[in-house]
Structure 1
Amino acid sequence: MMAFPRHGFVLLAMPKCASTSLEAALAPYAELVIDRPPGLKHLGASGFGRRIAPRLAADGHERDSYELVTMFRDPVRWLESWWRYRARPESLRHKPGADSSEMSFDEFARRYVDGDPDAPTPRGRPGQFLTIDDVVEVDRVLAVERPEAWQPWFRSRLGEDVAFERRNVSPPADPELADGTRAALVDFFAPEYDVWSRLQETGQWAGARGTRLVVPPRAR
């Protein structure tokens, strides 16, 4: 998480959404950077509201004085990124037992949808990251896959010609999904695809705050 209240925004670091690259490029301009531990670095809207917003308010930056921003990506690609990441040998040093190297993406996806507690799948989902009580709390959502939209936005806000590089890239893979598994994922990720659909025209969704995004009860 990085805060730029003098530039009018705070960036929440959704996991698997270019957070490492963004931190490398933007941290020098930030007034507050929380890069560890992961539970704080990747605070979602709810955690931000409880832990960071009061701190900013105490410094004279009330919530409505800045935009709360996050990146977003196709939810199936988001899950695929987790599968690839947890197949990397170095990731096992930080989370023993979270090994997907011998698991197909199809199995990984099915166990994620089923909520298997023993699977090396991520906990939670992108929709939860954005919401408090099923209502979107972030003001602006930017599509990771559309750098032509978000790079100029950050540069404009900072007034600097910021250079962005790709970092922390997982190994290449060409995963396959059975038709039934893909259909189950699309159904499971219905709230996320609602968000995703709003990004297709311009690569960003401004004015997102206050939109109801109903996340199914089986979300973890």
Structure 2
Amino acid sequence: MLVFWEQNLVLLAVPKTGSTALMSGLRKHVTMMVTNPPHLKHAPFYRYQRFLHPYFKQAGGKTMETAAVIRHPVDWLSSWYRYRYRDDLVGKKNSTRGISFDEFVLEYAKTEDRKPFAQVGSQYQFVRNSEDEVGVTFLFQYEDQSRFLSFLKRRLDTEIELPIKNVSPKLDLSLSTEVEAELRRARPEEFTTWETAGLSSDEE
């Protein structure tokens, strides 16, 4: 999570959307940077709304705006699968070694009792508020980096160069048509939220 106090902006760190690179590239511009522990670094909007928003409002007498990036659901799951495929997780319950990408996605699509390797959270839930609506002020698609970076350049009034960080292992992954259809049937809100991010306005 990155806080830009003078610019009245909080950048929430959705997992597997390049948040580590953002933190590295924007380090010199931030007022406050939350990097650890992970559950604070990746605090979802509803947690920010409950705990940090009241504190910031009391401290500065203003309502901070928020921004976040979300990824196409299949691509996001692909990143999680590759991340958990790494060598240091082999033999652990959350490792994806020996499991196909189709199996991983089908397990994620379950509504309950998912196996540890498929417990990766939800982008839909991350950006929601306590009323189960999109609470993030400015929502961007990961795939449209130019739009997101243009927003940051305008808002922070600075040029931005992002380093490459935390790259997952390269794997040749493809999702079968049938499994993607099941994912869309079981988790339509994940796709709708991503599509909404592509339509939301970031004009100031």
For normalisation by structure 2, the TM-score amounts to 0.90
TM-superposition CA deviations, 1:112-155 (whole Å, max 9, x none): 11244334013431110011231111111011111211112111
Output the amino acid matched with 2:4: F
**Which residues of 2 match residues 81-92 of structure 1 at below 5 A?**
81-90=79-88, 92=89
SS in 2 for 1:142: strand
Cα displacement (A) at 1:61: 4.6
Provide the rounded CA distance (Å) in 2 between the counterparts of 1:164 and 1:138: 22
Output the amino acid matched with 1:47: R
The 3 A distance-change label for structure 1 pair 59 and 77 is same
Whether 2:168 is the aligned partner of 1:173: answer no
Provide the rounded CA distance (Å) in 2 between the counterparts of 1:192 and 1:113: 11
Output the amino acid matched with 2:37: P
**Which residues of 2 match residues 50-199 of structure 1 at below 5 A?**
50-63=50-63, 66-90=64-88, 92=89, 96-114=92-110, 115-132=112-129, 133-199=131-197
Provide the rounded CA distance (Å) in 2 between the counterparts of 1:20 and 1:168: 7
Provide the rounded CA distance (Å) in 1 between the counterparts of 2:8 and 2:201: 14
The aligned residue for residue 21 of structure 1 is: 21
| Corresponding pairs, count | 200
SS in 2 for 1:135: coil
Cα displacement (A) at 1:96: 4.3
SS in 1 for 2:109: helix
SS in 1 for 2:114: coil
Provide the rounded CA distance (Å) in 2 between the counterparts of 1:61 and 1:70: 23
Structure 1: give runs of 5+ residues left out of the alignment: 208-220
Provide the rounded CA distance (Å) in 2 between the counterparts of 1:96 and 1:51: 33
Percent identical:
29
For normalisation by structure 1, the TM-score amounts to 0.83
Cα displacement (A) at 1:173: 1.6
Output the amino acid matched with 1:172: K
Provide the rounded CA distance (Å) in 2 between the counterparts of 1:116 and 1:77: 23
The aligned residue for residue 215 of structure 1 is: none
Cα displacement (A) at 1:200: 4.0
Structure 2: give runs of 5+ residues left out of the alignment: none
